[in-house]
């Protein structure tokens, strides 16, 4: 079940297992803190250091067998010396957006096209994230790349339901987060491929085709990789 949070304009999930109940101490996601930026309405360009992977895809290598990330594609919103934050973009949760609308008492318009909600990662699993093109006057929005935005407020869902939201978007519950140096160590262990972001992969391809398509951006066929070796 989903409900309107005590934080005005946000939405959260209530059917969380007891092991994850601690997440409910959150009063909503502060994008300034999550993305480590001074202002969500006027964000600076991301660090151009080539060792940082902002606005990139992480594609799980075959040897990565973690149940949460195996065969995953993660969009990295932020990566710097303090850690990383992103959203898994190819793992349907088994819940459609229309179901969230019912729980939130949002009535979609006749032209609304339903889509699956994605499992964005194991962190903040009760919190909704909308990754989308085209900025708008949403209450809690950060620009994570040129014309690519992350929003956590309820107002964007209301706009989407009524045909006034962004045309290209995805909705996740939860996110992925790495501590200081953690992702860097995983990269050294050849757990991930990295590649440029494609809107086609991010928003349009079937979810089960996204990992192979993302790898193909850098000319790699995942089906030919052994789970016992890394990449050069």
202: in domain: yes
Please enumerate in sequence order all residues whose Cβ is within 8 A of that of 19, keeping only pairs 6 or more positions apart, or say none.
Answer: none
Residue 141 lies in a domain: yes
Instruction: Write the pLDDT tens digit of every residue in 67-93.
Output: 889 999 999 999 888 999 999 999 999
Predicted confidence at residue 225, as pLDDT, reads 85
Instruction: Note down the domain range covering 135.
Output: 2-220
- Angle at the Cα of 154 from the Cα atoms of 114 and 90, rounded to 5 degrees: 45
Q: Residues 9-29, buried b or exposed e (16+ Cβ, 10 A)?
A: bbbbbeebeeeeeebeeeebb
The DSSP secondary-structure symbol of 201 reads I
Stronger pLDDT, 16 or 157, i.e. the higher one: 157
Number of domains observed in the structure of the chain: 1
Contact 174, 208 (CB under 8 A): no
227 in any annotated domain: no
What was the pLDDT predicted at 137?
84
What is the C-alpha end-to-end distance of the chain, expressed in Å? 45
In a domain, 230, yes or no: no
Stretch 32-39: mean pLDDT: 44
CATH number for the domain spanning 70: value is 3.40.1740.10
86 lies in some domain: yes
Tens of pLDDT, residues 168-202: 999 999 999 999 999 999 999 999 999 999 999 99
Quote the tokens at residue 107: 């009535």
* Domain annotation covers residue 231: no
Q: Is residue 6 part of a domain?
A: yes
């Amino acid at each position: 079940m989903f409900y309107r949070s005590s934080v005005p304009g946000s939405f959260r999930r209530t059917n969380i297992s007891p092991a994850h109940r601690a997440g409910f101490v959150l009063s909503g996601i502060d994008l300034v803190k999550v993305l480590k930026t001074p202002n969500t309405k006027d964000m600076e360009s991301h660090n151009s250091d080539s060792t940082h992977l902002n606005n990139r895809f992480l594609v799980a290598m075959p040897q990565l067998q973690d149940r949460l990330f195996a065969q995953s594609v993660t969009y990295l919103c932020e990566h710097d010396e303090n850690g990383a934050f992103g959203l898994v973009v190819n793992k349907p949760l088994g819940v459609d957006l229309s179901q969230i609308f019912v729980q939130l008492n949002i009535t979609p318009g006749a032209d609304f096209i339903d889509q699956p909600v994605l499992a964005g990662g194991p962190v903040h699993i009760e919190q909704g994230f909308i990754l989308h093109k085209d900025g708008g006057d949403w209450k809690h929005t950060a620009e994570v790349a040129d014309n690519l935005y992350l929003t956590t407020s309820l107002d964007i869902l209301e706009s989407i339901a009524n045909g006034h939201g962004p045309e290209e978007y995805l909705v996740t519950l939860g996110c992925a987060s790495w501590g200081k140096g953690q992702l860097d160590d995983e990269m050294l262990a050849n757990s991930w491929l990295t590649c440029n972001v494609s809107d086609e992969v991010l928003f349009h391809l079937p979810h089960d085709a996204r990992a192979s398509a993302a790898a193909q951006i850098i000319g790699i066929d995942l089906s030919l990789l052994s789970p016992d070796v890394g990449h050069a």
